[in-house]
């Protein structure tokens, strides 16, 4: 049941919800907006109708408008601030040996979960290592298992980068797998989703910008993905089950500060599109 409800005292019959519904299941004739029971199964659960109602007259899925955050010009960051955040984003590979506040981690993930997904499929699972001591145990276990896999020639050829990880750590104390990060976030999406890979990338990109805005460092970690694909038992212990695709990101308090942005405008390629009209 969608629990689609209209507050008759607030509704001004503006039809904003009718016009904005992506699947066009909200109707209005002479009275209040409604959804026919036989059409409820077509709902994407996107909550556009809840968000678009100018009078806060609409509730759906048990969500009431009073529980939503207000969204207006005075509530949003300035364009200059967003530009500075995006241009100043850096891949961080040096971290302080301290935990990020778990409440902050939960808040960042909960907000990142609002990122768009194909056909609003959602269904993402956020696997997080939120304690640096657990992360250290994971690091040591991963390196030991990787050493065994290398000795047994079980590392796929396409993951040749992994060959340097064990000697780098044993001889020089350098962690090229997880960069000494205290935490990781692995976002997984069901393979059955319409666009699972894209859903993951969008969610991690959203998390990255939120995290860097909160003063944290992040880095996309293909090495960790290679490691987990090489070590299926370790992958399973993290709860990464069959039928899901995934990608990892490292994060934590950075041990490096970048006081300025880089300059890439000259490499931007903008191609304006046009279609030729036929007579």
Mean pLDDT of the chain: 96
For domain 5-67, is the CATH number 3.30.70.20? yes
What is the pLDDT, as a whole number, of residue 277? 87
User: Measuring CA to CA, which residue among 57, 36, 58, 37 is closest to residue 47?
Assistant: 58
From the list 234, 237, 245, the residue with the least C-alpha distance to 154 is: 234
Give the span between the Cα atoms of 25 and 17, in whole angstroms: 10
The per-residue pLDDT for range 146-181, each reduced to its tens digit, is 999 999 999 999 999 999 999 999 999 999 999 999
pLDDT the model gives residue 278 = 85
CATH 3.40.50.20 is the classification of domain 85-252: no
Confidence of residue 279 (pLDDT cuts 50, 70, 90): confident
Please state the rounded mean pLDDT for residues 98-104. Answer: 98
CA–CA separation, 279 vs 274, rounded Å? 16
Band (16; pLDDT cuts 50, 70, 90): very high
- Percent of the chain residues topping a pLDDT of 70: 100
Contact of 224 with 167, CB cutoff 8 Å? no
List the domain boundaries for the chain: 5-67, 85-252
Reported confidence tier of residue 1, pLDDT bands at 50, 70, 90: confident
> What end-to-end distance do the CA atoms of the chain give, in Å?
51
Query: Distance (Å, rounded) from C-alpha 212 to C-alpha 88?
Result: 9
DSSP 208-266: HHHHHHTT-EEEE-HHHHHHHHH-HHHHHHTT--TTEEEEEEEEE-BS----S----GG
**Rounded mean pLDDT of 73-93?**
96
CA distance linking residue 94 with residue 101, whole number of Å: 18
pLDDT tens, position by position, 229-249: 999 999 999 999 999 999 999
Mean pLDDT throughout 1-29? 97
């Amino acid at each position: 049941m969608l629990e689609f409800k209209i507050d008759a005292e607030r509704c001004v019959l503006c039809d904003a919800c009718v016009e904005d519904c992506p699947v066009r299941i909200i109707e209005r004739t002479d009275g209040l907006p409604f959804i026919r029971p036989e059409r409820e199964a077509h709902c994407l659960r996107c909550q556009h109708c809840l968000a678009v109602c100018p009078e806060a007259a609409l509730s759906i899925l048990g969500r009431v408008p009073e529980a939503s955050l207000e969204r207006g010009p005075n509530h949003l960051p300035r364009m200059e601030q967003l530009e500075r955040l995006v241009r100043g984003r850096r891949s961080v590979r040096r971290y302080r040996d301290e935990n990020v506040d778990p409440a902050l981690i939960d808040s960042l993930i909960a907000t990142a979960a609002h990122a768009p997904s194909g056909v609003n499929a959602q269904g993402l699972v956020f696997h997080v290592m939120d304690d640096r001591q657990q992360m250290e145990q994971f690091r040591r276990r991963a390196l030991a298992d990787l050493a065994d896999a290398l000795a047994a020639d079980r590392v796929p050829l396409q993951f040749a980068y992994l060959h340097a990880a064990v000697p780098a750590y044993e001889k020089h104390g350098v962690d090229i797998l997880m960069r000494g990060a205290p935490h990781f976030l692995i976002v997984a999406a069901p393979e059955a989703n319409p666009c699972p890979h894209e859903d993951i990338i969008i969610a991690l990109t959203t998390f990255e910008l939120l995290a860097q805005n909160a003063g944290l460092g992040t880095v996309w970690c293909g090495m960790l993905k290679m490691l987990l694909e090489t070590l299926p038992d370790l992958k399973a212990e993290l709860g990464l089950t069959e039928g899901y695709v995934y990608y990892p990101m490292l994060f934590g308090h950075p041990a490096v500060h970048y006081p300025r942005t880089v300059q890439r405008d000259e490499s931007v390629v903008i191609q304006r599109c046009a279609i030729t009209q036929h007579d």
